[in-house]
Amino acid sequence: MAQFQFVMRSGPTPGVTFPLEGEQLILGRDPSNSVAINDAEISRKHSRLTFQGGKYVLEDLGSTNGTFVNGQRLAGPVVLKPGDVISLGEQIVLMYDAINQDPGATVAVSRKAVRPEPPLAQPSAPAYSTPPSTPYSPSPNAPVKKTNMLPIFIGIGVLVFICLCIMVFLIVDADPTGARWCMFPFSIIAQMLRGAGACP
């Protein structure tokens, strides 16, 4: 029966355990390995475990992305202790653990078998399914869109000017004698409209 195991903390199958049995185990991407992990970052024969004196010794087999124990890249064989964190490359993280021996256990687990750990309890979701709406407030760094008011002012000015002109012409034209048409500058307009003798 296995005395030690790997528990995958990060990788393609988090929570899966790999019971470690045998004098020599190969870790890598090859399906024939004792610990087979299908990930492109792992070499086909990535590293090797050797059982010596009741403990496993880990060594890298010249892998491309390296083997790490507790964050230190292996430069030679290292004796593993329960609780050690083994990283294969940057993405695959395994926890090395001792298995509690149960003398009453009758179920044997094969070397290739894996069993997922129970999922961690997730915090209960709030009663509502959609987040509460919050009033929109623009970011203080967001650019403020400025409206060009000059065309509006010009349009209002032209409209006021036209209205004033109409009022003045109505007042001048309201004189029944026509004398107001002879005042400057209306005399020019009167001469254009009525001829040169419009004003004495």
Rounded Cα gap, residues 57 and 79, in angstroms: 4
pLDDT at 179: 65
The Cα 51–Cα 55 span in angstroms is 6
Q: What is the mean pLDDT of residues 114-142?
A: 56
Weakest mean pLDDT among 45-54, 111-120, 131-140, 179-188:
111-120
Across the chain, mean pLDDT equals 77
The predicted structure's pLDDT at residue 111: 42
Res 143 pLDDT > 70: no
User: Looking at residue 165, what is its pLDDT?
Assistant: 82
Whether residue 26 contacts residue 33, with contact meaning beta carbons closer than 8 Å, is answered with: yes
Verdict on whether the full-model pTM lies above 0.95: no
pLDDT at 129 over 70: no
% residues pLDDT > 90 (the chain): 36
Supply the pLDDT for residue 31: 92
pLDDT tens-digit series, residues 54-97: 899 999 999 999 999 999 999 999 999 999 999 998 889 999 99
49 has a pLDDT exceeding 90: yes
pLDDT of res. 90: 86
CA distances from residue 191 to 21, 95, 174, 181 in whole angstroms, order as listed:
120, 107, 18, 9
The neighbouring-strand residues paired with 8 are 94
